[in-house]
Structure 1
Amino acid sequence: MADGPYVGVGERRARLVRRQWVGVRGGSPEEVAGGLVALHGTDPATVYLALGARLAEPGKTVAETERALYEDRTLVRMHGMRHTVFVFPAELTAVVHASTGLAVAARERASLLKDMAKAGAPDAAWLAEVEASTLAALARRGQATAAELARDEPRLKERFTHSAGKSYEGVHTVSTRLLRVLGVEGKVVRGRPLGSWTSSQFRWALAPAHPELDAAEAQAELLRRWLGACGPATEDDLKWWTGWPVTAVRRALGAIGAERVVVDEGPAYVVAGDAETVSGGAPPSAALLPALDPTAMGWRNRDGFLDPEIRPALFDRSGNVGPTVWWEGRIVGGWAQRPDGEVVWRVLDRAGVGRDAEAAIAAEAERLRAWVGETRVTPRFRTPLERELAAG
């Protein structure tokens, strides 16, 4: 197979700016989330900060995101790729469930039953009774916390020890593990948090109904959407982002007729008809994106938009990205919020970052401070530069 046309760094950054809304404004959470395909949801604040950085009216971020998530249900928070929580457009829930969730769900349920058996806990029939009772209680309540569900189904409170005798031995409640399994099985989703938009304590709700799709067809559709937003991407990028085995990635690439191109890292892929240059270079755009933002976490290899020398300051040891400062489609530094609410930032890669760039970055920092208001945000996974800046 021919390698295909070369797509240079400048073109890739220009695509990133326009397709990932990096310094480009959208009109609604649904519009932005649809363009990004998925918003990283492990840290609840990331969803709002990622949208607020991209919406034309950031002051409406919290109200509009809550409307989309909890009233209109046009956005859904659920488990997805790599067993990670994301926020997806509602029309993608069936695709994500069939392409990714089912395989994870089978492993999760088997693991739960195995751990229960080792601990001498009740069997699968008992768990099935508890599950049915829990789902019925959730249907009656609409939304509920695990504690509220346990009042309706007391067996959810029962505990069992897992990994007995190991250094990582622990005690789980049935509710913790069962609700997790039901989540990856697509039966329940996270509802409204107990606190503000930064809270990580969620209520649970029954998952919206969706059709059951063929797994291979769903994988092809998810890959098509993602490549349209993030292409070009290497096979390694695709395998990492989806969490699928390489055979599934290659099958999906073939199913959508993906075109092969060349990037600096080697062979890569774009959706059919997207191989030619589509832009005149990255516009002079600045953005302050949050920790775990889907753009910074979108590719396994990030050399096209991140100088490897500044990476250690911006990522934790597990590979989670902290808050980042962007200019013209590349990461140039990081930012943090101090206890008094001030948003501070620092440029680490000064190539091409002049006075105009610094003025634009400062304006973005003020824009962020203004819409966040009295809320204080500390990333769930903290990074060296974020800690330093936050401490003053």
Structure 2
Amino acid sequence: MTTSITWDQANARRLDRQFLATSAPEGVPAAEVVAAMLGAHAQVMSAAELSVGVRGDTLTRADVRKALWEDRTLVKTHGPRGTVHLLPADELPLWCAALSAVPSGTSGQAADVRVTERQADEIVAAIADALDGVHLTIDELSEEVVARTGPWAGDLVMPAFQTLWPRWRQVLHRAGQSGALCFGPNRGRKVTYTRPPLFDPLPPEEAVRELVRRYLHAYGPSTPAWFAKWLAAPGGWAAKLFGRMAEAGEIEKVGFEGAGDAWVAAGDLAFPADRRVRGVRLLPYFDAYGIAAQPRERLFPGDAYRRALAGGQAGNYPVLLVDGVVAGVWHQRRQGRRTTVTVEPLGRLTARQERELGERVERVGAVLEAERSELVVGAVTTGAHA
């Protein structure tokens, strides 16, 4: 008989495993929090710092920066979906092997812009060689890549931000995903790149299976389609992968309210009682939970689907969670050592929820190391990504 899981059960377990039901206590390192999230989206670094910090009782942006640039327990590189993420340094053998094993889709570039697979491999090898033991800006790296490959790699043919980038730049994310490149500390206002410490990647099939198990631990029950969406992988490839794992007894099927058949890691059937998680949370732009938790219509119910998403896409707005689901949006403005957080609830908050919201705003201020935090309840007038 197939086990049936309700939305409230799944959501409660996911929140608990994400340090969103109970915060990580003092002493839990930033890298452990990031591991539980399956990576922190870091296209906007301040958002990544908040994603990690709000999951802890005492974590601040200074702790995240120390883990990244001093202790090197975190690495800033290209992760799921090819986007910039913070990943635990000791998990690079898993991540790089798994991400490199995901089939790439058809390039969105014009035919005269694309590179062949051989050229892509040549560029990645050139990047790894150029970054070994040094930190280079993008312009410095470009010179080194062209010198190691040929003038064709430097052709200004790739449209980007109202300008043209050199041809090799379309492979930058692949270099990050394969372990040839990661971000270094900024040089003034300029981004730098370096090569992460050398490591032996896991065998590709072993890596993708382990990534599925970790994904299901954090976000299950789930489906191959949801996994593919989270990873930006081909749906057919994900379905076959889940099929192989099911045949091997590594994952098992459950019934999931509103979704039908879904999957969990084998034996991982312990779910809390059928109840909703109580409490208030503030999650920043592109927080891992808002992006990965499915079905999205349940996490963003009613008006939240219209107000907190952009055409169904998650991450464009910081969100207010009330009792485990999105119930508003918010915006943070920093002025000197003071931060003002404007929260727009989509429904009426109880007195208890208002008090807790004030505490969450204080926590946002603490993560950002602000001396003073102010809560304003009202309309958020800024647009997506503001």
Query: Normalising TM by the smaller chain, what interval?
Result: 0.7 to 0.9
Q: CA deviation at 1:18?
A: 0.8
Residues 158-185 of structure 1: CA deviation (Å, up to 9, x unaligned): 7424379xx9996222563454442233
In 2: Cα distance, 1:388 partner to 1:84 partner: 21
> What is the alpha-carbon distance in structure 1 between the residues aligned to residue 85 and residue 124 of structure 2?
24
Q: What is the CA distance between 1:336 and its match in structure 2?
A: 0.4
Aligned length: 364
Moved more, 76-85 or 274-283: 274-283
Query: What residue is the counterpart of 2:137 in the other structure?
Result: 145
Q: Distance in 2 between matches of 1:254 and 1:202?
A: 46
Q: Distance in 2 between matches of 1:103 and 1:53?
A: 31
Distance 2:162 2:301 in 1: 40
Deviation at 1:339, TM superposition (A): 5.6
Does the CA contact (< 8 Å) of 2:282 and 2:360 recur in 1?
yes
Once residues 51 and 163 of structure 1 are traced to their aligned partners in structure 2, the CA distance between those partners, rounded to angstroms, is 34
Alignment correspondent of 2:374: none
Displacement after TM superposition at 1:316 (Å): 2.1
For structure 2, list consecutive stretches of 5 or more residues without a partner in the other structure: 372-378
Contact 1:37 1:89 in 2 (8 A): no
| Deviates further, 216-225 or 178-187 | 178-187
The Cα of 1:337 is off from its aligned counterpart by 1.4
1:57 alignment counterpart = 58
Q: Counterpart of 1:240? A: 229
Specify whether residues 135 and 235 from structure 1 end up closer, same or farther in structure 2 by C-alpha distance, changes over 3 A only. Answer: closer
TM-score, normalized by length of structure 2? Answer: 0.80
> In 2, distance between residues paired with 1:29 and 1:138?
26
Map Cα deviations across residues 311-367 of structure 1 (whole Å, 9 max, x no partner).
1211223713210111222111111013643101021144xx421112111210122
Between the aligned partners of 1:268 and 1:294, the Cα distance in structure 2 is: 20
Partner Cα separation in structure 1 for residue 202 and residue 154 of structure 2: 36
Alpha-carbon contact 2:125-2:180 (below 8 Å) kept: no
Q: 2:219 aligns with which of 199, 220, 230?
A: 230
Match of 1:378 in 2: none
Q: Partner letter of residue 250 of structure 1? A: G
Identity %: 23
Match of 1:173 in 2: 166
Unaligned runs of 5+ in 1: 376-383
Quick one: which of 262, 273, 281 aligns to 1:268?
Answer: 262
Query: RMSD of aligned C-alpha atoms?
Result: 3.7
Whether the aligned pair in 2 keeps the contact of 1:189 and 1:205 (CA below 8 Å) is: yes
Which secondary structure does the structure 1 equivalent of 2:298 belong to? coil
8 Å Cα contact 1:38/1:88 also seen in 2: yes
Contact 1:39 1:87 in 2 (8 A): yes
Q: How far did residue 204 of structure 1 move?
A: 0.6
Match for 1:365 among 361, 367, 382?
361
Match of 1:288 in 2: 282
Cα distance in 2 between the residues matched to 1:320 and 1:102: 25
| Alpha-carbon offset, residue 274 of structure 1 | 2.4
Indicate the structure with greater strand content. 2
Q: Normalising by structure 1, report the TM-score.
A: 0.79
